Chains A and B, each alone.
Chain A
Amino acid sequence: MSLATEGGEQPSADVLLDVRDLNVTFPSEDGDVRAVRGVSYRVRRGEVFGIVGESGSGKSVSTMALMGLLPPTARITGSATYLGDQLLGRRDRDVRKYRGNNISMIFQDPMTSLNPVYTIGQQLGEIVRAHYRISPKEAKGRAIDALDLVGIPQARRRADSYPHEFSGGMRQRVMIAMAMMNDPDIIIADEPTTALDVTVQAQVLETLMSVKDRLNAAIILITHDLGVIAGTADSVAVMYGGRFVERGSVDQIFGAPRMPYTLGLLASIPSLDQDEDELTPIPGTPPSLVNQPEGCPFEPRCSMAALVCQESEPSLESTDHPGHQAACHRWEDVMKMATDPSLSEVPG
């Protein structure tokens, strides 16, 4: 179990990706949409870093910015280095050197990520040929190997099939095969199993983890599903209103959350093995990313909000556990409540 990725401390050789103070802003008619604000993290070799958040929290935008996949109107500031090379502010031609090669992505919907008029083998081979000078035949051979590795039966024959001939789970395996074609160091998986049924989801996650082990790569796993994060991630960041509001190891986040939003998320999902009387929803709706008020973005929905929460936005600071950070003025009160159940105030 690796510790949380700490911003600014313990530089070490196995850091693959170092993101610092990433900001993404989209201009709009109503004002600037500040989709990502001050996000920093490091990803180490072999680690699964989970980013969890609800729709509109900025979790996808924060990684697409690294890959140069945002529209040109997006204003991106901050720094993101892959093994020391700056990824931000480059021309597309230069980012392309890394994209699909050292860093690859898996998206939620494989049907829109695959080209319907080319065979799977051609599309997989193209990824190798975009970066290396090898013959089409050789490329196809590597495509077949990759399909075989992600558990597609009769890979040799299936390499000549078109995307529509695959089922949803098989298509997502093709996406994983695609992401591993050039032995990447980092795989960014954005809701990779959201469109799949649970039994297929289990297969696909297993495949993804075995590919990670085989390549000794790192995975950035973006999802809204706390269960998927709990089962696969080593460290976790919780995103809300464009910011990381809590960060730590998977055990810290799920076992000892220090931010009322995380607590609220955990309280609002029903249990699979216990009966509960009533769920505790988080009242209200997620914040608008335009013209954000000054205080904590979660303050309007937070049962523990105090005056200070309206006045200033808390920064991500260390809590009682090493490597565990929360952006909450009242994290100590959250901790006291967790250790002393007689403080009956229910967060969330």
Chain B
Amino acid sequence: MALVEVKDLVKHFPIRSGGLVRREVGQVQAVSGLTFDIAEGETLGLVGESGSGKSTCGRAVLQLHEPTSGSVIYDGRELVGLDKKELRDLRQQIQMVFQDPYASLNPKMPVNDIVAEPLVIHRGFSGSERQEKVADLLRDVGLRPEHGNRYPHEFSGGQRQRIGIARSLALDPGFIVLDEPVSALDVSVQAGVINLLRRLQDERNIAYLFIAHDLSVVRHVSQRVAVMYLGKIVEIGDKAPMYATPAHPYTRALMSAVPVADPVKERTRERITLEGDVPSPVDPPSGCRFRTRCWRASDICATTEPELAEYVPGLLTACHHPIGPDEDITSVDVVSRTAASVSA
């Protein structure tokens, strides 16, 4: 059974007019009906470009944003609609690690206190018990306990992210939402934090919702991957088919746009260059939200929203014109599309 079950999750932010009355004049449809689950000890990678709603999704799952509608079940318990007290108890088991280790740690607190805070609040730890537990946590994330009385600014970016991870582990959570946990770090440091997250998951059987824009990192940490575009999951499923033969045109384009650190591959790779920008989530396109940038779009895409269905084994894809695993992607329409944008 899944540890986390998210069903039809919606989060719209109201846009209010200026002035005293602050009438609602529109809605940012940040997350529009997401359904996915995460098993115990599993990592679901959530990828998408800026504005796709992936961070909002993470926060809505944790009830940091109150969802507009939908359901989030953790370990058999519904989180949506819980009162503050109940939520606070449940938050011991569900944690979050943020992108910016500079902004998410209190600069005026020594690291010992930062890591101990959840223990003090939820478990009433004090004295030597608290000290021991904090030292264990710091060791677990690869920091030296004797550095615990230093302040965040005395640590490097990678070390700060480790402090954030130690804090999230303090209450032995079963589920952690990681929102771009390594994207602020230099690559040589990033690898160490990724290894740490994988080791902690193995040791503690924690489920991760790993939100990131870096597809290589997501491949490395995830068992399953969901691709978001403009508030919707356009494709979700097992990592292997997702990276080898994704059926959704957007996933194909996204994968092909990632620069790889290999000049030989870069020269021979087929690149699908999408035109234009992501449309505004205030007024998303009708039907399929990707249709305005899709080279395979037809009339039906404007009128009917595609449902998630299995076209490639192990993947669910929301597309009227999915790409078959054996289909030649170097088809004429793609090449001409790419050529057009070069000459532009």
Contacts and interface: CB of A to CB of B under 8 A. Distances in A.
Interface stretch (B67-75, B83-91, B259-267): B259-267
B343 interface: yes
A7 B191 CA distance: 34
Interface in B188-207: 188-192, 194-195, 198
A255 B186 contact: no
Interface residues of B, number: 45
Q: Is the interface of A mostly helix, strand, loop or mixed?
A: helix
B195 A198 contact: no
A140 interface: no
A227 B260 contact: yes
B302 interface: no
B126 interface: no
Given A203-B274, A231-B266, A281 B257 contact: no
Contacts of B56: none
Contact of B191 (A203, A280, A286): A280
B21 interface: no
A198 B49 contact: yes
With most chain A CB atoms within 10 A of its CB, the pick from B186, B194, B257, B261 is B261
A339 interface: no
A202 B253 CA distance: 10
B219 A272 contact: yes
Interface in B53-112: none
B262 A254 contact: yes
B317 interface: no
Interface in A233-264: 250-251, 254-255, 264
B273 A268 contact: no
Given A254-B261, A270-B219, A276-B220, A206 B192 contact: no
B186 A286 contact: yes
B187 interface: yes
A170 B275 CA distance: 11
Contact of B220 (A168, A201, A279): A279
Contact of B263 (A168, A169, A255, A286): A255
A23 to B, nearest CB: 24
B192 A281 contact: yes
A230 B260 contact: yes
A271 interface: yes
With most chain A CB atoms within 10 A of its CB, the pick from B188, B213, B220, B244 is B188
B258 A230 contact: no
A197 to B, nearest CB: 4
Contacts of B262: 230, 254
Interface string A284-319: 011000000000000000000000000000000000
Contacts of B329: none
B217 interface: yes
Given A198-B49, A199-B274, A227 B189 contact: no
Interface string A199-226: 1111100110010000000000000111
Interface of A: 54-55, 151, 167-170, 197-203, 206-207, 210, 224-231, 250-251, 254-255, 264-273, 275-276, 278-283, 285-286
Given A281-B192, A282-B189, 15 more contacts: A167-B277, A197-B213, A199-B253, A200-B49, A200-B277, A202-B259, A203-B274, A207-B344, A230-B265, A231-B263, A231-B266, A270-B220, A279-B195, A280-B191, A283-B192
